[in-house]
Amino acid sequence: MGILDKLQNIPVPIINLILILTISVPLIYPIGIPILVDPMTRSAYEVIDNLPEGSVVLFDYDTGPSTVVEVGAADKAMVYHMFKKNLKIIFVSSGVNGPMYVETDVPPIAKRLGKQYGVDYVHLGYFAGLEMGITAILNDISSIYPSDVHNTPIEKLELMQAVKNHEQISLTIYSGGLGDQLLSWIRQANTAYGITVVLVPVGVMISYSMPYYPNQVAGIVGSLRGGAEYELLTNRPGEAIAGMDSLSLSFIWIITLIVLGNIGLISSRMSRGSS
């Protein structure tokens, strides 16, 4: 019985140390566990794949230090996919950190695929105001963005000469961790103007997005797992796929902890019952 009681009280440093090991070891020695693609991720992929060439996508790149690990891989895979399909992308950011990640992630992909700034994509930068900002952008982009992130007046950008408001936008993507912002895009883009919405939420927000799928949200690429699936679909293995083995082993450890704790509890209840 001593062992079973101990199962309910494993010391915290041991738990943490084993957790670190289950995450670190597969990063150094990958296992290669196969990944299945979720229907929601496939749905998001097909929405982008089926857009006509030249369609305009509004991408709210709300990545930040807290969310870059979760959604960064999916963002890059989707940007690559959209450039490959010759879609035009307008990058905005409802978070202050997003523009820094756009400047780091997008130019290398654009350069590799021969995409030109101002023609194939523009980066407008941060907008304040959350839902108010989204409403203003969809009404009239120039009311929130007199210039792009490089201080070029938007009327001088070839892409922005053709895109003035929601009427020219075919798809909106929100990538980030703000639950309010996720719902705001659904309300303002899909409900108000009927624009297709795809979400790239962090893990915590996946459940909040479920009620809107598939009628109001066309696809959900959730967290690191969704990023790995999207990398698989675009045939570009990257950091998300690299993290999947760690995810597997760490989850096995957490499940083991839960089961051990409950075995200990059930056994001690049974022994108290019999005595």
Partner 1 sequence: MSQTFRRYIPMALSAAVGFITIITYFFYFPLVIQNASSALVSWGSILTAFAQGLGTIFLLRSHARRVIRRDQGEWIYSLVIIISTFIFPVLFFTHGDTSTLYKTLYQTINNNIGAGVWGILIFALTGAVYRAFRLQNLNSTFLLVSCLIVMLQIAPVGGVIWSGFPILGNWIMDIPTTGGYRGIMVTAAFGLIALGFRTLFGYEKGYLGGEE
Partner 2 sequence: MAINWVEIVGVVFGMAILSFVFKPNPVHRLVESLFVGGTAGYLLIKNLDSAYKLSINRVPNDPTLVIPLILSVLIFARLSKEYSWLSNYPIAFLTAIGIGVSVRTIAETDIIKQIRSTALPLIMPSDVLTSFNNIIILVSTVTVISYFLYARKSTKTLRTSNKIGISFMMIAFGGSLANSLLSRVSRTIGLLQSLIIVPSAVYMVPIMIIVIAISAFPEKLGLKKEK
- Could you list the residues that contact partner 1 (CB under 8 A)? 10, 12, 15-16, 19, 33-36, 38-39, 64-66, 68-69, 97, 100, 103-104, 127-130, 132-133, 135-136, 139-140, 143-144, 150, 192, 206-208, 210-211, 213, 225, 244-245, 247-252, 254-255, 257-258, 261-262, 265-266
Angle, CA 198 vertex, CA 155 and CA 112 arms, to 5°: 60
Closer residue to partner 2 (CB): 23 or 113: 23
Does the footprint of partner 2 cover residue 128 (CB under 8 A)? yes
**3-state class (DSSP) for residue 270:** helix
d(CA 189, CA 193): 5
| Residue 242 partner contact from partner 1, partner 2, none using kind-dependent CB cut-offs of 5 to 8 Å | partner 2
3-state SS assignment for residue 128: coil
Q: 3-class SS at 79? A: helix
65 vs 227: CA distance, rounded Å = 17
The Cα 32–Cα 34 span in angstroms is: 6
Out of partner 1, partner 2, none, what residue 37 binds, judged by CB under 5 to 8 A for its kind, is none
Stretch in the footprint of partner 2 (CB under 8 A) among 31-39, 45-53, 168-176, 200-208: 200-208
Binding mask 204-243 for partner 2 (x = CB under 8 A): x-xx---xx--xx-----xxxx-------------x--xx
Among 5, 16, 259, 262, binds partner 2 (CB under 8 A): 16
Distance CA 197, CA 190 (A): 6
- Residues near 273 by Cβ (< 8 Å), separated by ≥ 6? none
Contact 76, 175 (CB under 8 A): no
Instruction: Say which entry of partner 2, partner 1, none residue 39 contacts (CB below 5 to 8 A, set by partner kind).
Output: partner 1
Residues 158, 159, 162: CA angle, nearest 5 degrees: 95
Give the total of residues touching partner 2 (CB under 8 A). Answer: 54
Single out the residue of 54, 66, 262, 266 in contact with partner 2 (rule: CB under 8 A).
66
Q: Burial, 29: exposed, middle or buried (Cβ in 10 Å; 0-12, 13-18, 19+)? A: exposed
Q: Which of 117, 108, 105, 123 is nearest to 64 (CA)?
A: 105
In terms of Cα–Cα distance, which of 84, 11, 258, 46 is closest to 171?
A: 46
Please tell me whether residue 172 binds partner 2 under the rule CB under 8 A.
no
Asked if 36 touches partner 2 (CB under 8 A), the answer is: no
Give the pair of three-digit tokens for residue 229. Answer: 């699936």
Q: Which does 187 bind (CB under 5 to 8 A by kind): partner 2, partner 1, none?
A: partner 2
Which positions lie near partner 2, rule CB under 8 A? Answer: 13, 16, 19-20, 23-24, 27-28, 66, 68-70, 96-97, 99, 125-128, 131-132, 135, 144, 146-147, 183-184, 186-188, 190-192, 202-204, 206-207, 211-212, 215-216, 222-225, 239, 242-243, 246-247, 250-251, 254
